[in-house]
Structure 1
Amino acid sequence: MTAFFQSLGMTYEWAWFVATVAGVLLIALPLMLAVAMIIYADRKIWAAIALRRGPNVVGPFGLLQSFADGLKVFLQETIIPSAANKGLFLIGPIVTFTVALLAWAVIPFGPEAVLADINIGLLYVLAISSLGVYGVVVAGWASNSKYPFFSAMRAAAQMISYEVSIGFILVCVILYAGTSNLNDIIEAQRGHGFGLVNGFFFNLLLFPIWVMFLISSLAETARAPFDLTEAESELVAGYQTEYSSMSFALFWLGEYANVLLMCALNAVLFFGGWLPPLNIDLIPWFDIPGWIWLFAKIFLFFFIFSWVKATVPRFRYDQLMRLGWKVFLPLSLLFVVLVSGWLMFTRYGA
């Protein structure tokens, strides 16, 4: 893209700047649209499982319901509690929303379709995603109310608990691929399956790790059954209790952007990313653009997220902690040993 703007007569510096801004907008604007539509899809899936119709009034099939909700919160008054720390109170949702967008810079939508194709892409995602808790903690503390504060403390403990196991799971992925570049991780998934599966859709060696990663993704994004930061029965809506208008909407946008990010990571790290699901010799199969395959896989995982939320009851807090520290942490450490041992004896001939 930089070369294109240079061909228009720009200097390299200006061409790089304009190309970078254009790349950011090409990711951020469709992502905001995707968040609006995915909220609609989420509500439709819940309604279908509960034998209801869901949004069906605003626009054809209710497709404009999310935009109507967005307009409603935009027109509402932003109320800041008198005892709150006003600066931090407003910074909290901004941090949550901004961090949710930053991680998408390294997600590859195709072989060359990535904003920043860096060699430490997976480490960048892990670092950025861990910053999301700061927005929640700042919001809970700045509200100067006990329920948001309890919720913020829960969020911090919950994210730390599951990021530890996620870190070891990602170590297994890096060991298998031999790199932390996300495009190279996708390429490493070609033709795997011990010769039993001739496709790019899942890795038999890493499949048990993916199950743990999927469950940890639910906990990391505070989705049901791990939505204890918003447990209405004891926290009145959690860290968002004192928020209204666009500050409340930014939390929602950040939450769904994080959900989409985790769905994208499930697809990229374990299910071939932009690769087609099967290595079959059909003429149009490999002509389908990679971003279509990636979006299809993201929606598949989002359907699983919504399905779990509509059917699985909320965990107790002690169950959440026990699962993270006593089950997933030992299992993830065990799989680091198993995967590294398997690779030493098969790939490196030890």
Structure 2
Amino acid sequence: MVINKNLEEQVIDLFYGSGFSKESFGFTWIITSILISVLGVTTGILVIVWLERKISAGIQQRIGPEHAGPLGITQALADGIKLLLKEDIIPSRGDSFLFNIGPAVVVVPVFLSYLVIPLGHGIILADLDIGVFYWIAVSSIAPLGLLMAGYGSNNKYSFLGGLRAAAQSISYEIPLALCVLSISLLSNSLSTVDIVEAQSKYGFLGWNLWRQPIGFVAFFISSLAECERLPFDLPEAEEESVAGYQTEYSGIKFGSFYVASYPNLLTSSLSVTVLYSGGWNLSLPFLPNFDQLGWNLTNETSEVFSITIGIIITLAKAYLFLFISIATRWTLPRVRMDQLLDLGWKFLLPVALGNLLLTASFQLFLL
């Protein structure tokens, strides 16, 4: 886990002063990073589920959940406990190995993708030089789990849902990767931290959103399709494939698919924030620092304050894209499978490729 350098040095001195060896410190640091990641993402899931239910209720002029906790905020936790206590049923004629491993193959890559997403200045679990490439590579594993789940269920509707998920993922991962490459060309880096830093000079005027409007639209549509959100939820369409690959699942395994969809949505929103809207940077250009404002803050207080503000800004920007994704669910009708594939192969792929070539041409011209 990478944090602010001064704070990291203080933590290291504290551990070594307490008698910890270098090996034990490294192991403790890894376990702490994993726990922070899992707890943070789990908290995000509970919040997103509550937000979706409340926003959906507002759009439909309903109240939404209100009895489980204050304003119904623990309703998702109650649903998770209920699924955990349900009986786990395995089809007798299905492939039990693929049936059991499918949910794990879907959930684990989603959690791994959070390693390279910065929430603030220096607040990142792993600042990799190939961060966006790692994110694309890891996110492409999840459809294999959906295909395993559909095939292992020995159900034609489940298998159909798995095939749809694989076809949809392949169709939209290529435009997604091309849009990310365009951003990397502008930033001269594959690191997510460097991409955010490249947008930090002029506030919202320096966002990649203004330099890559075509890529932004293609990326946002592709990310919705990757998350299987309406109008692209063909793999689990109840009217056509009876919930698709989830049909034969029950209990905590069914909950695993449910869990994987929401952190995937949060990952996409955070990725749009990092790649196109400046990440943790405040959107006001030419804003003076704390000293120029006359705030007499110590170095430690200033660091903590700036980190907190950065995290709040990142989550606020991500919430905006989450709100758009949730509102889209109750606004647009579901497309047909042929329309979905045509949109990916015949429209978004040429647009994303043309955007990449245009970006590369401008970069060569500026050199």
Contact 1:274 1:290 in 2 (8 A): yes
- For residue 331 of structure 2, the aligned residue among 311, 314, 323 is 311
Contact 2:204 2:278 in 1 (8 A): no
Cα distance, 1:198–1:293 mapped onto 2, change above 3 Å: closer
Match of 2:79?
A: 69
Match of 1:100?
A: 110
Matched, 1:219 2:225: yes
Which deviates the most, 212-221 or 272-281? 272-281
Match of 1:325?
A: 345
List aligned pairs for 1:293-308, cutoff 5 A: 293-308=313-328
Amino acid at match of 1:95: V
Provide the C-alpha distance between the structure 2 equivalents of 1:206 and 1:198, rounded to a whole number of angstroms. 13
Aligned with 1:174: secondary structure?
helix
Provide the C-alpha distance between the structure 2 equivalents of 1:189 and 1:53, rounded to a whole number of angstroms. 40
- For residue 359 of structure 2, the aligned residue among 307, 314, 339 is 339
Contact 1:214 1:266 in 2 (8 A): yes
Matched, 1:110 2:120: yes
Provide TM-score, normalisation by structure 1: 0.94
- For residue 91 of structure 1, the aligned residue among 85, 101, 107 is 101
Match of 2:4?
A: none
Q: For 1:175-234, what per-residue CA distance to the aligned partner results, in whole angstroms no more than 9, with x for missing partners?
A: 000000110010111236xxxx76455531112211110000000111100000011111
RMSD: 1.7
- For residue 124 of structure 1, the aligned residue among 121, 126, 134 is 134
Q: For 1:253-292, what per-residue CA distance to the aligned partner results, in whole angstroms no more than 9, with x for missing partners?
A: 1111111101110000111111112225366799452111
Aligned with 1:225: secondary structure?
coil
Structure 2: 5+ residue runs without aligned partners? Answer: 1-7, 294-304
Provide the C-alpha distance between the structure 2 equivalents of 1:202 and 1:255, rounded to a whole number of angstroms. 27
CA displacement at 1:87 relative to structure 2 = 1.8
Aligned with 2:211: secondary structure?
coil
Identity across the alignment (%): 39
Contact 1:103 1:129 in 2 (8 A): yes
Provide the C-alpha distance between the structure 1 equivalents of 2:229 and 2:125, rounded to a whole number of angstroms. 28
Amino acid at match of 2:318: I
CA displacement at 1:74 relative to structure 2 = 1.1
Matched, 1:7 2:7: no
Amino acid at match of 1:303: F
Number of aligned residue pairs: 343
Contact 1:200 1:278 in 2 (8 A): no
Match of 2:3?
A: none
- For residue 206 of structure 1, the aligned residue among 186, 208, 212 is 212
List aligned pairs for 1:1-350, cutoff 5 A: 1=8, 3=12, 4-191=14-201, 199-281=205-287, 287=306, 289-346=309-366, 348=367
Contact 1:207 1:270 in 2 (8 A): no
Cα distance, 1:277–1:147 mapped onto 2, change above 3 Å: same
Which deviates the most, 200-209 or 93-102? 200-209
